[in-house]
Amino acid sequence: MSPIPARWDGYGWWITRARVKSTSASTSKWNNSSEKGFAMPVTILIVVLVLLIFLIAIILIRTSAFLRPSEPVAPVELPEVDPDFVANHLAEAIRCETISHLEGTPADLSAFRELRRVLESQYPRVHASLEREIISDATLLYTWRGTNLELPPVLFCAHLDVVPVDPGTLDQWEHPPFAGIIADDYVWGRGTFDVKCQVIGLLEAAELLLKQNFQPERTIFFGFGQDEEIGGEKGAKQIAAHLAERGDRFEAVLDEGGAITQGIIPGIENPVAMIGIAEKGSLSLRIKAVAKPGHSSTPGKTTAIGILANAITRLENHPLPARLDFMRIIYSALGGAVSPTLQAAFANTWLFGRFLKRKLEASPTTNASIRTTTAVTMVAGGIKDNLLPASAEAIANFRLLPGDTVEDLAEYARLVIDDPRVTVVPVPENAWEASPLTSPEGAAFQSLATTIRQVFPGAEAAPYLVLGATDARHYAGLSDQVLRFTPLVSTQDDLSRMHGINERVHVGSLGRMVQFYMLLIDAWAGGELKHNLVELPTEAPGV
């Protein structure tokens, strides 16, 4: 008998007893076996083997049915675009400090007027041929009339505003954030990536198409909001109200959203174009705890801050259940680009669901993709170190998966906290439902995916859930096909700079963005949302 390891000394008597019992039982078992023939009948082994084969067959069949292999796309000749020319236009737009400040600080409308003058100068054909409306002083709506007014129009969106730059980080910027510097093959500055590049890309594409005497059959709108970064109340929301009042309804809407990424999605090495088919809702709850005030020298058993802390702890310790439906949509669409192990796992969540949830919960990004998240973002309580406050409050922000509602979440929080001393009240201005889902089987998604694969060969297109909020949510009532995609090849480093330090965009990516929009406008401008370009033998350059 081997010695008992030191770490088990405290349990030595139990382990020794268990060993003796095990040895005795084992000896008895084999004595009986020798008398009866076999310890385990062959029939049991056969049954186990058959069940195992049956299980493997089910896994393979479900995996095969789960995957949606993409159809081959014929190469097309991409239009000629000078990326340096586009970069100079973007750099000029970056110099207009169209900042959306926090509530209570009005926007500098002169910066938006200057940007308007810049766009007029850069795109003379657009401003001569398209109708332009100015909404809420700074929001722009362009109308490109089609030849067939019976066809429902399409809408392309972006926003003119940018987030502020923290003054304490200015010395960490390689180039001043509003200087519009082009260096090392990048355009540097606030708004280069999010998302003035998209404004410039769309108008550049329209200008070049007009130069070729292109005339759409379907009417095309460009909507550029002024305040997406703070909710879009004066921008996209007003555009949507204006269009709804006129009775306009859209065949498709395309706003900013996912980019083309590589190495970010677990188990997928190929470039993936993430097309947002929905976005999460948002709910902020004001959680207030009350208790008897007094002097800190004679505290009661509980304090308002302690009660609030307990309520917060209960919320954080009881997250909402994880759901794999959106991740299944992504992995199904990517087909053979997914590793075989993950293919089988997502095709058989009835068997591997718990394993997948544990893996996905390990990353904040993937965790947010599978559940309604809870984040306590603000806390207030107490004004002096020797005074017990009568109340303390916190703000908890939930980001809602489609299917969870604002009303349900508020009730869920009350049930979890379960304390009569705590009130839970929604913050009305920070409460909206998750958006409706756009079908990835629809014509708009399929046409968009085709264009992506033609302009970015090697990239796979996949639907996904947008975790934040975009202007697209304001247009949900105007179209059944609302999509979110930004045609930029992006690394994790690129994404980390957005809203951060040293935001930038590659000059070459700007040229490709314009080519993408030219092809997509052409595809969506016809009677059906499909590619109507003549297929040519020339292949586009790779990603």
- Residue 270 gets which letter from DSSP? S
Supply φ then ψ for residue 487, to 5 degrees: -80, 65
Q: Which of 97, 161, 207, 522 is catalytic?
A: 161
Q: Is residue 405 classed as helix, strand or coil in its secondary structure?
A: coil
Report the alpha-carbon distance of residue 204 to residue 326 in Å, rounded: 34
Could you please report the per-residue DSSP string of 290-351? E---EETTS--S--HHHHHHHHHHHHHHSPPPP--HHHHHHHHHHGGGB-HHHHHHHHTHHH
Does the annotation mark 161 as catalytic?
Answer: yes
What tens digit of pLDDT does each residue of 430-445 get? 999 999 999 999 999 9
Whether 4 shows a pLDDT value over 70: the answer reads no
Whether 297 shows a pLDDT value over 50: the answer reads yes
Give buried/exposed letters for 3-31 (b at 16+ CB in 10 A, else e): eeeeeeeeeeeeeeeeeeeeeeeeeeeee
Report the alpha-carbon distance of residue 113 to residue 116 in Å, rounded: 5
pTM of the model: 0.86
What tens digit of pLDDT does each residue of 126-153 get? 999 999 999 999 999 999 999 999 999 9
Q: What is the pLDDT of residue 66?
A: 82
Q: What is the pLDDT of residue 259?
A: 96
Lowest mean pLDDT among 9-23, 212-226, 297-311: 9-23
The domains of the chain, with CATH numbers, are: 83-279+435-524 (3.40.630.10), 281-319+375-433 (3.30.70.360)
**What is the share, in percent, of the chain residues with pLDDT greater than 90?**
77
Mean pLDDT of 278-290: 98
Whether 427 shows a pLDDT value over 90: the answer reads yes
Which class for 220: exposed (0-12), middle (13-18), buried (19 or more C-beta within 10 A)?
buried
Which one, of 493, 495, 414, 485, lies nearest residue 455 by Cα? Answer: 485
Top pLDDT among 38 and 422 is at 422
Mean pLDDT of 222-239: 97
**What is the share, in percent, of the chain residues with pLDDT greater than 70?**
89
Listed in sequence order, the DSSP H helices in 174-283 are 197-211, 236-246
Q: Which of 204, 207, 227, 228 is catalytic?
A: 228
Top pLDDT among 400 and 102 is at 400
Could you please report the per-residue DSSP string of 155-180? EEEEE--B----GGGGGG-SS-TTS-
Please report where in the chains the tokens 């809870």 appear, as a residue.
374
pLDDT bin (cut points 50, 70, 90) of residue 415 is very high
Whether 234 shows a pLDDT value over 50: the answer reads yes
Q: What is the pLDDT of residue 148?
A: 97
